[in-house]
Amino acid sequence: MAWQGVATEFLQVPAVTRTYTAACVLTTAAVQLELLSPFQLYFNPHLVFRKFQVWRLVTNFLFFGPLGFSFFFNMLFVFRYCRLLEEGSFRGRTADFVFMFLFGGVLMILLGLLGSLFFLGQALTAMLVYVWSRRSPRVRVNFFGLLTFQAPFLPWALMGFSMLLGNSILVDLLGIVVGHIYYFLEDVFPNQPGGKRLLLTPGFLKLLLDAPEEDPNYLPLPEEQPGPLQQ
């Protein structure tokens, strides 16, 4: 019964958050059960472009290390801030949210080549936290009951705590940089004199993921109008 309640609650989570969180958990479980090896998941340009192991472009964002405190810490932030974004500024804009993931993922891979980074899930988490924090500047955040501060300080607190866990500072910095690029292009530059939106979600994503908009000029057929039918 408890599992049914958890499953029901999880199914109420927005689709992108639910899918990404589940993929991360299942990937980690598969590694823990030795069904997969981290060596099959990490980002390796040679194996991607020479051996055509293209799945590594995705799987490197799904593995956060073995089960332990660091894994649950990352999953907590992934689930919470991905959901806050999807239910907040991206409500009703699933295609735009997925496009943010794609934009961030591609940019992280390109920049990650410079730093020889093999797993980028933590960078994606930092990006989600950064974008949420810049869009919620007046929200006060309680960081594990230890510190209370304004939301824009959260990515830096997260980076500091990640360092205490022994993680690389480069991964968090990469996520913050990519998050800032997205925030600037999406929220700042379009509102500047002469600015415009440069990040345009492809139409096929909107067609696949967003509900069709109602045409305000559409006139319903007589049989669709309320009241008795006129023969």
Q: Structural domain boundaries of the chain?
A: 10-205
pLDDT of residue 215: 53
Pairwise CA distance, residues 70 & 166, whole Å: 9
Question: CATH for 10-205?
Answer: 1.20.1540.10
First to last CA, the chain: 55
Which CA distances in Å does 68 have to 1, 24, 60, 73, 95?
A: 27, 14, 18, 9, 33
- Average pLDDT score, the chain: 87
pLDDT of residue 231: 42
pLDDT of residue 75: 92
pLDDT of residue 227: 47
Q: What φ, ψ does residue 170 adopt, rounded to 5°?
A: -65, -35
Contact (CB, 8 A) for 120 and 78: no
Contact (CB, 8 A) for 41 and 60: yes
Q: Which residue has the tokens 């991905």?
A: 82
| Token code pair at residue 81 | 């801030």
pLDDT of residue 4: 62
pLDDT of residue 220: 56
Q: pTM score, two decimals? A: 0.87
| CA 22 distance to own-chain centroid | 13
Segments of the chain scoring below 50 in pLDDT: 223-231
Which CA distances in Å does 118 have to 49, 74, 194?
A: 15, 17, 39
